[in-house]
Amino acid sequence: MKIYNWHKAENITLSSLEENKLTEINAAGKKIGLLKRNSNVYAFTAACPHAGAPLCEGWVDPLGRIVCPDHKYRFDPANGRNTSGEGYKLFTYPVEIKEEEIFVGIAVIPNT
């Protein structure tokens, strides 16, 4: 079981997060993308796993997939799966909503 440190998304609330608009935030020193779609909020690494393009400069296609602005690779925001067939996986983060605040879970790496 993973243990998470929860980080509040600064300067954004659930009601201010626009539907189907990719939004980049900083949390725990990481650039993280957010997407609100059909009452769900998804969090993911803001850089494309293929070539590092800023995903929040891309768009959301009609099926709800994140589209990379550089090479048009598509990713499922719920699980990071590459749906256009190139074999890359987008890292995703768990999200919790408390009242209007959005929290992103960053996994704690235990000392070994």
Give 13-50 pLDDT, tens digit per residue: 999 999 999 999 998 889 999 999 998 999 999 999 99
Pair of tokens at residue 30: 């990481």
Pair of tokens at residue 83: 């749906």
Residue 18 sits in which domain range?
4-107
- CA 40/CA 76 separation, integer angstroms: 13
Pair of tokens at residue 110: 């235990």
* Number of domains into which the chain is organized: 1
* pLDDT for the residue numbered 109: 81
For the cut 70, the answer to whether the pLDDT of residue 112 exceeds it is no
- CA 17/CA 111 separation, integer angstroms: 36
Average pLDDT over residues 100-112: 87
Is there a domain that residue 58 lies in? yes
Is there a domain that residue 112 lies in? no
| CATH number of the domain bearing residue 17 | 2.102.10.10
pLDDT band at 111 (very low <50, low <70, confident <90, very high): low
- CA 77/CA 64 separation, integer angstroms: 8
* pLDDT for the residue numbered 1: 80
Is there a domain that residue 71 lies in? yes
